[in-house]
């Protein structure tokens, strides 16, 4: 009984701290005001940069959306970097030359661990824009996407702007679960910006000053890691320019992409994302990640122990209850912004699966290699 009491107190402490943590997420999200895009005169030259590899099935729709943006054409430069595609990706991009789409072919004769960073850096080295905007080759966006980002930049003067990304066109329960979990991640990144403690963002919808990119040394120091062209660059810019990171909370700024079709590709993606944590300079972010991992591990440990000592099942139940209630409050706001509140019915299932996923990815994402775009990288 003494052991049960001790474990219960420890679990209660972990749950309390986790609860307070989620409350800070809620506060950070609400600190971000819904942005009404001003009608100021566009004056910023923008370079939209897209690194692409084997995207012939998706890239045409992305190019069409970029070409059809309502931002002035004379202030817009669209650059696609073909990263050694083995399909018709480069051919499709080249066919849009008359629409102002530029193609750069990456020709690296030596093996790299981060082809994407090399592609982006190559494009920045030859672009003419003062503001770099990155997205992915399988994304979709509305016609006001670019103008909303630039208007926000001109009004606030941020060095880097993170904007929302969401999944769409889900075809299965698994993909809908991913949509809800992804909105949690996007909301989490936004909330840290709202709390002036920037930690995460997504390269599918990211903008930063070209001068700021060079002033922090670009990808130098993080170019040996396959992932991290977004978050690790965010950390570098946030360190040099405190308070100069913004999140664009506006529906016109949402970029849409697809969830993974199967568990294998999902795991590979999340291992890639998790691998970035090994290079975080901000120790507070690392401590936060480790704590969340320990909290989720404690739920699993209490449940397994409860199969033999029933008292531990009650501890597991209360941990799950607190976790579910607070995360629902947070997601109520985030899904409301994305107009996807119907996904909230999946929270009970997602909560249980997410615990297992967090514990597994916390280990797998920080060890070994993973597959990305047909390459084994680390």
Bridge partner list, 102: 79
Q: What angle do CA 44, 48, 54 make, to 5 degrees?
A: 180
pLDDT score at 272: 81
Residues 43-88 have pLDDT tens digits of: 999 999 999 999 999 999 999 999 999 999 999 999 999 998 999 9
Number of neighbours of residue 52 by Cβ within 10 angstroms: 27
Q: Is the pLDDT of residue 376 over 90?
A: no
| 167 contacts: CB under 8 Å, gap ≥ 6 | 175, 178, 179, 182, 256, 257, 258, 259
Domain ranges of the chain: 33-172+193-262
Q: What is the DSSP letter of 99?
A: G
For the beta sheet containing 245-247, the strands, ordered from the edge strand earlier in sequence to the opposite edge, are 101-105, 76-82, 46-52, 131-136, 206-209, 160-162, 245-247
Mean pLDDT of 89-117: 86
Count how many Cα atoms sit within 13 Å of the Cα of residue 194 in the half-sphere of its side chain. Answer: 21
pLDDT tens per residue, range 174-209? 999 999 999 999 999 999 999 999 999 999 999 999
Q: What is the DSSP string of 187-250?
A: HHHHHHHHTT------GGGEEEEHHHHHHTTTTTTTTTSSS-TTHHHHHHHHHHSTT-EEE---
Query: Tens digit of pLDDT for each residue in 202-259?
Result: 999 999 999 999 999 999 988 777 677 899 999 999 999 999 999 999 999 999 999 9
The token duo for 54 is 């084997």
**Superfamily assignment of 33-172+193-262 in CATH?**
Spore Coat Polysaccharide Biosynthesis Protein SpsA; Chain A (3.90.550.10)
pLDDT digits (tens, 9 = 90+) for 316-352: 999 999 999 999 999 999 999 999 999 999 999 999 9
Q: What is the pLDDT of residue 111?
A: 53
Q: How much is the pLDDT for 101?
A: 97
pLDDT in tens, 257-279: 999 999 999 988 888 887 777 67
């Amino acid at each position: 009984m003494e052991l049960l009491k001790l474990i219960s107190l420890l679990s209660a402490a972990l749950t309390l701290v986790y609860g307070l943590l989620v409350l800070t997420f809620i506060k950070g999200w609400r600190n971000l005001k819904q942005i009404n895009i001003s009608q100021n005169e566009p004056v910023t030259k923008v370079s939209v940069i897209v690194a692409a590899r084997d995207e012939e099935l998706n890239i045409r729709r992305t190019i069409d959306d970029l070409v059809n943006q309502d931002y002035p054409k004379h202030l817009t430069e669209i650059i696609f970097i073909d990263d050694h595609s083995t399909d018709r990706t480069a051919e499709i991009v080249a066919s849009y030359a008359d629409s102002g789409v530029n193609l750069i072919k990456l020709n690296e004769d030596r093996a790299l661990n981060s082809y994407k960073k090399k592609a982006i850096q190559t494009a920045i080295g030859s672009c003419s824009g003062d503001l770099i905007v990155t997205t992915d080759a399988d994304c979709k966006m509305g016609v006001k996407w670019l103008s909303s980002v630039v208007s926000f930049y001109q009004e606030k003067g941020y060095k880097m702007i993170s904007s929302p990304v969401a999944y769409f066109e889900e075809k299965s329960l698994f993909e809908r679960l991913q949509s809800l979990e992804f909105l949690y991640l996007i909301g989490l990144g936004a909330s840290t910006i709202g709390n002036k403690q920037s930690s995460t963002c997504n390269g599918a919808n990211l903008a930063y000053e070209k001068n700021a990119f060079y002033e922090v040394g670009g990808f130098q120091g993080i170019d040996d890691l396959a992932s991290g062209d977004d978050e690790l660059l965010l950390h570098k810019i946030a360190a040099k320019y405190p308070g100069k990171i913004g999140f664009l909370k506006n529906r016109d700024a949402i970029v849409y992409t697809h969830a993974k079709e199967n568990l294998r590709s999902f795991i590979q993606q999340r291992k890639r994302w998790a691998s970035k944590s090994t290079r975080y300079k901000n120790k507070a972010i690392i401590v936060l990640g480790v704590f969340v991992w320990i909290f989720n591990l404690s739920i699993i440990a209490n449940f397994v122990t409860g199969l033999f000592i029933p008292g531990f099942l009650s501890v597991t139940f209360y941990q799950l209850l607190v976790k579910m209630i607070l995360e629902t409050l947070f997601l109520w706001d985030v899904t409301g912004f994305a107009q996807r509140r119907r996904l909230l019915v999946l929270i009970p299932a997602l909560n249980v699966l997410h615990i297992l996923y967090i514990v597994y990815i916390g280990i797998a994402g920080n060890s070994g290699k993973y597959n990305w775009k047909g390459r084994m990288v680390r």
